[in-house]
């Protein structure tokens, strides 16, 4: 379904892609705007006083305009020559999920089969609608449509029972020819079908073509088994590698039995990324500093800033801030439907997402299956320097992380930026020139390539400061602009049985602590335990922090609590919180430096975490732990264990213990 963007909540929406680029390179802006006379300029986001940059902007599309976009995935068969379609048999496996309105299952020229919200199948032949039969959601069927000079015949088979359940003939219906679509009529005027599609075949003019969906995807083109040049077009990124009609539940790894997962899941709100042409090209000067910038768009109805990141051509600082763009992308355009989540504030980005039907990796599709794919080619309406999270009514993600960069700039401490996607793409080479890496406030999503690069960095003696909470938690995979996540059991949404493996890489998804090898506890020393939007708490120093070897970190720290105020829920320890658990995987030389406790009862230890001492230990873990240890590579790993930590940095003209620790950390890591 194609429609124009609804700008009721925001006059401007768009994105920069790539959103991380080196100095001396260029990037492009994609913009939808209500004001044709809007003006553009580049500004900094990581300084207390906004810098206006005179970088070259090249207009590629004329005046700004409101853009349209497409929602809903579907499949289109190639158009065959008329000589090949005089007589044919078309077969399709399908499994309906929830459809709130009548949808097209398949269309062959002027002949179609549709389904309504109650599972009733109708056949439309020669402009006449015929009732056919009823089907049940979550059951696999094979639909066969045969065409000859005498008319058209339709047969439906229940695949689980291998039983024909309906048959009908339509004499004189006319040869269905021309466009063949699955899941949509192709006109873009109505919503597409919610359900799974399995194997497809077409027998015509003595030729047989069949299509089996791969377990690795998403792909936009799929050649026939018999002739790769006869290819399906797959629109708007459905979910690949899902249980098919052959799934028996005995094998859950698609790499072992690909035929059990040779299906795709179509959704009427699938989104494969905007297919817009670029509006502006941004030339980044070769001497531009590394940092966080934005394309500022000024309209008669307001101003919006579209963030992007500039990294150094070669490292000049000794410390780098690793921007958690994977987390930013996972949350981008989150709907937070108020019927499910009680809002404590309002943000125009979420209203914009609701108005336009956008989804993020925290949402579910209209048929209640989880959203497992997202694209960087999207507006990111919630990724702004002035963003406030409605559930907590405080900053979250980018505006919190900007507080760290602004603080260091204010203090004259040189720090460069690069993104976790740079780490994924370039590996260890992206970070090899830095002595210290600092994470953002919520580095939650990590790919295998990111993890391998970080392992290499630590093995080579690098220092790591984990300045957040609920970090290094979910496994993601990348393919171009697409990011994939498979949740298994989660209170956000749970994946279906057998579908824990990601289609992009084939590796198991879920969270890192269940993957082994890279359990956060084993190399950070802490693990995510509790979350709430209740009041944040300050840290109190523990005996270990007074050891002489940590004097450098606590130099100048007063006796007052560490972080008794802040922009995130009022303190340094809050929202999502990590702590040390008793485990053989915990580094033996780990030292707890400080802890925050006294949280209210809204903070409870997540029930899925395994604890050696069971409930006895559970009662002690409603806390945040600040830790440090020297790893085998020779560097140090420092953890604050709280999403709220960076938000507790001092405001301009002020100082506090959190700021002093961060100054000491930068000096110590930069030596």
Whether 16 shows a pLDDT value over 60: the answer reads yes
Token pair of 99 as six digits = 């459809």
Assigned domain for 187 exists: yes
**Mean local confidence (pLDDT), 174-198:** 86
Distance (Å, rounded) from C-alpha 669 to C-alpha 634? 12
**Mean local confidence (pLDDT), 644-655:** 97
**Mean local confidence (pLDDT), 108-120:** 93
Q: Work out the number of other CB atoms within 10 angstroms of the CB of residue 279.
A: 25
What would the 3-class secondary structure string for 140-200 be? CEEEEEEEECCEEEEEEEECCCCEEEEEEEEECCCCCCCCEEECCCCCCCCCCCCEEEEEE
**Cα–Cα distances in Å, from 505 out to 114, 339, 345?**
35, 35, 39
CB of 292 within 8 A of CB of 419? no
Predicted confidence at residue 345, as pLDDT, reads 87
Strands (E), 538-655: 540-541, 573-579, 591-596, 604-605, 624-630, 636-639
Confidence of residue 614 (pLDDT cuts 50, 70, 90): confident
Predicted confidence at residue 610, as pLDDT, reads 81
All residues at 6 or more sequence positions from 62 whose CB lies less than 8 Å from its CB, including other chains: none
Assigned domain for 404 exists: no
Distance (Å, rounded) from C-alpha 383 to C-alpha 165? 51
**Phi, psi angle pair for 430, to nearest 5°:** -65, -25
Predicted confidence at residue 142, as pLDDT, reads 98
Identify whether residues 200 and 287 lie together within a single domain.
Answer: no
Predicted confidence at residue 50, as pLDDT, reads 96
Predicted confidence at residue 9, as pLDDT, reads 96
Identify whether residues 202 and 251 lie together within a single domain.
Answer: yes
Identify whether residues 155 and 21 lie together within a single domain.
Answer: no
- 284-342 pLDDT per residue, tens: 999 999 999 999 999 999 999 999 999 999 999 999 999 999 999 999 999 888 888 88
- CATH number, position 583: 3.40.50
**Phi, psi angle pair for 160, to nearest 5°:** -65, -40
pTM of the predicted protein model: 0.95
As a dihedral over the C-alpha atoms of residue 242, residue 246, residue 248, residue 250, rounded to 10 degrees, the angle is: -70
Tell me if residue 323 falls in helix, strand or coil: strand
Identify whether residues 179 and 129 lie together within a single domain.
Answer: yes
Q: Find tokens 């033996």 and name the residue.
A: 588
Distance (Å, rounded) from C-alpha 4 to C-alpha 66? 7
Residues paired with 568 in a beta bridge: none
Residues paired with 66 in a beta bridge: none
Predicted confidence at residue 175, as pLDDT, reads 58
Predicted confidence at residue 523, as pLDDT, reads 83
Q: Which domain-ending residue is among 248, 266, 284? A: 266
**Mean local confidence (pLDDT), 452-481:** 96
Predicted confidence at residue 611, as pLDDT, reads 84
**Cα–Cα distances in Å, from 303 out to 62, 278, 295, 377?**
20, 20, 10, 21
H/E element holding 69? Answer: strand 68-70
- CATH number, position 13: 2.60.40
Assigned domain for 559 exists: yes
Whether 465 shows a pLDDT value over 60: the answer reads yes
CB of 633 within 8 A of CB of 460? yes
Assigned domain for 407 exists: no
**Phi, psi angle pair for 152, to nearest 5°:** -130, 140
Confidence of residue 582 (pLDDT cuts 50, 70, 90): confident
Q: Which domain-ending residue is among 241, 266, 291? A: 266
CB of 265 within 8 A of CB of 242? yes
Distance (Å, rounded) from C-alpha 79 to C-alpha 291? 50
Specify the pairing of strand 416-419 against strand 319-323: parallel
**Mean local confidence (pLDDT), 513-521:** 83
Token pair of 27 as six digits = 């990037």
Whether 177 shows a pLDDT value over 80: the answer reads no
Q: Is 584 left (phi over 0), alpha (psi -120 to 50) or beta?
A: alpha
Token pair of 585 as six digits = 């995987």
Predicted confidence at residue 176, as pLDDT, reads 58
CB of 663 within 8 A of CB of 657? no
Tell me if residue 129 falls in helix, strand or coil: strand
Confidence of residue 371 (pLDDT cuts 50, 70, 90): very high
Specify the pairing of strand 463-466 against strand 636-639: parallel
Q: Report the Cα 653 to chain-centroid distance in Å.
A: 37
**Phi, psi angle pair for 223, to nearest 5°:** -75, 155
Identify whether residues 108 and 53 lie together within a single domain.
Answer: no
**pLDDT > 70 in the chain, percent:** 98
DSSP sequence for 216-283: S---SEEE-SS-TTSEEEEES-PEEEE--TT--SS---TTT-GGGG-EEEE-TT------PPPSEEEE
Predicted confidence at residue 85, as pLDDT, reads 57
Identify whether residues 108 and 225 lie together within a single domain.
Answer: yes
Predicted confidence at residue 577, as pLDDT, reads 97
Assigned domain for 491 exists: no
Confidence of residue 186 (pLDDT cuts 50, 70, 90): confident
Identify whether residues 53 and 187 lie together within a single domain.
Answer: no
Identify whether residues 577 and 445 lie together within a single domain.
Answer: yes
Tell me if residue 546 falls in helix, strand or coil: helix
Burial classification of residue 557, based on how many CB atoms lie within 10 Å of its CB (0-12 exposed, 13-18 middle, 19 or more buried): middle
Identify whether residues 236 and 294 lie together within a single domain.
Answer: no
All residues at 6 or more sequence positions from 370 whose CB lies less than 8 Å from its CB, including other chains: 364, 487, 492, 493, 494, 495
Q: Which domain-ending residue is among 266, 296, 317? A: 266
Identify whether residues 636 and 657 lie together within a single domain.
Answer: yes
H/E element holding 285? Answer: none
Specify the pairing of strand 302-311 against strand 291-299: antiparallel
As a dihedral over the C-alpha atoms of residue 33, residue 36, residue 39, residue 43, rounded to 10 degrees, the angle is: 10
The total number of structural domains in the chain stands at 3
**pLDDT > 90 in the chain, percent:** 84
User: Residue 530 belongs to what domain range?
Assistant: 420-473+515-669
Predicted confidence at residue 49, as pLDDT, reads 96
- 36-90 pLDDT per residue, tens: 999 999 999 999 999 999 999 999 999 999 999 999 999 999 877 665 556 789 9
* Whole-number average pLDDT of the chain: 94
Assigned domain for 24 exists: yes
Distance (Å, rounded) from C-alpha 252 to C-alpha 372? 18
Whether 174 shows a pLDDT value over 80: the answer reads no
Predicted confidence at residue 83, as pLDDT, reads 52
Distance (Å, rounded) from C-alpha 590 to C-alpha 215? 42
Q: Where are the alpha helices (DSSP H) in 387-447?
A: 398-410, 420-426
670: which DSSP letter? T
Identify whether residues 229 and 141 lie together within a single domain.
Answer: yes
Distance (Å, rounded) from C-alpha 353 to C-alpha 399? 19
Tell me if residue 12 falls in helix, strand or coil: strand
Q: Work out the number of other CB atoms within 10 angstroms of the CB of residue 84.
A: 15
**Phi, psi angle pair for 349, to nearest 5°:** -65, -40
Assigned domain for 439 exists: yes
Assigned domain for 362 exists: no
- CATH number, position 231: 2.60.120.200
Q: Find tokens 């949402």 and name the residue.
A: 363
**Mean local confidence (pLDDT), 571-591:** 93
Identify whether residues 545 and 443 lie together within a single domain.
Answer: yes
């Amino acid at each position: 379904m194609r429609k124009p963007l609804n700008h009721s909540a925001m006059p401007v929406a768009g994105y920069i892609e790539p959103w991380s680029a080196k100095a001396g390179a260029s990037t492009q802006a994609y913009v939808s705007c209500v004001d044709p006379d809007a003006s553009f300029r580049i500004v900094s986001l990581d300084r207390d006083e906004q810098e206006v940059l005179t970088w070259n902007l090249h207009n590629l599309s004329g005046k700004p305009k409101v853009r349209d976009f497409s929602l809903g995935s579907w499949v289109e068969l190639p158009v065959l020559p008329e000589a090949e379609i005089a007589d044919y048999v078309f077969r399709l496996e399908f499994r309906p999920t929830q459809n709130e309105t009548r949808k097209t299952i398949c269309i062959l020229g002027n002949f179609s089969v549709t389904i309504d919200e109650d599972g009733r199948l109708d056949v439309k032949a020669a402009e006449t609608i015929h009732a056919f039969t009823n089907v049940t959601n979550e059951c696999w069927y094979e639909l066969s449509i045969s065409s000859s000079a005498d008319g058209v015949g339709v047969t439906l088979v229940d695949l689980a029972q291998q039983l024909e359940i309906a048959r009908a003939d339509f004499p004189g219906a006319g040869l269905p020819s021309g466009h063949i679509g699955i899941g949509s009529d192709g006109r873009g005027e109505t919503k597409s079908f919610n359900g799974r599609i399995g194997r497809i075949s077409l027998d015509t003019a003595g030729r047989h073509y069949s299509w089996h969906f791969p377990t690795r995807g998403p792909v936009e083109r799929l050649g026939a088994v018999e002739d790769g040049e006869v290819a399906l077009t797959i629109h708007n990124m459905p979910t690949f590698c899902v249980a098919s009609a052959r799934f028996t539940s005995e094998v859950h790894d698609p790499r072992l039995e690909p035929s059990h997962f040779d299906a795709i899941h179509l959704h009427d709100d699938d989104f494969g990324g905007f297919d817009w042409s670029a509006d502006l090209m941004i030339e980044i000067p070769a001497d531009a500093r590394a940092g966080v910038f934005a394309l500022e768009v000024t309209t008669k109805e307001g101003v919006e800033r579209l963030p992007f990141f500039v990294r150094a051509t070669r490292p000049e600082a000794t410390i780098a801030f690793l921007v958690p763009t994977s987390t930013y992308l996972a949350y981008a355009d989150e709907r937070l439907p108020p019927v499910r989540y009680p809002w404590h504030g309002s943000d125009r980005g979420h209203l914009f997402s609701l108005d336009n039907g956008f989804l993020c990796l925290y949402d579910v599709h209209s048929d209640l299956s989880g959203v497992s794919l997202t694209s960087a080619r999207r507006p990111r309406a919630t990724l702004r320097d002035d963003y406030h999270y409605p559930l907590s009514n405080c900053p979250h993600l980018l505006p919190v992380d900007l507080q760290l960069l602004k603080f260091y700039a204010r203090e004259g401490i040189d720090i460069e930026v690069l993104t976790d996607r740079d780490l994924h793409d370039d590996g260890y080479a992206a970070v090899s020139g830095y002595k210290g890496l600092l994470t953002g406030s919520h580095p939650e999503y990590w790919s295998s390539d990111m993890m391998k690069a970080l392992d290499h960095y630590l093995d080579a003696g690098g220092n790591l400061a984990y300045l957040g909470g609920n970090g290094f938690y979910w496994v993601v995979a990348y393919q171009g602009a697409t990011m994939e996540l498979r949740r298994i059991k989660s209170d956000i949404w749970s994946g279906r049985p057998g579908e824990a493996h990601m289609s992009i890489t084939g590796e198991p998804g879920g969270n890192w602590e269940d993957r082994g090898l890279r359990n956060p506890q084993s190399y950070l020393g802490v693990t995510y335990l509790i979350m709430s939007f209740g009041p944040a708490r300050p840290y109190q120093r523990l005996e270990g922090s007074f050891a002489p070897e940590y004097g450098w970190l606590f130099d100048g720290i007063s006796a007052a609590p560490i972080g008794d105020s802040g922009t995130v829920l009022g303190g340094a320890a809050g929202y999502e919180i990590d702590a040390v658990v008793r485990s053989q995987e915990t580094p033996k030389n780990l030292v707890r430096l400080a802890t925050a406790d006294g949280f209210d009862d809204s903070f409870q230890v997540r029930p899925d975490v395994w604890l050696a001492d069971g409930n006895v230990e559970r009662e002690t873990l409603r806390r945040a732990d600040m830790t440090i240890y020297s790893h085998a590579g020779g560097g140090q790993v420092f953890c604050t264990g709280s999403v709220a930590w960076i938000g507790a940095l001092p405001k301009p003209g002020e100082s506090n213990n959190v700021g002093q620790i961060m100054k000491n950390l930068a000096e110590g890591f930069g030596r």
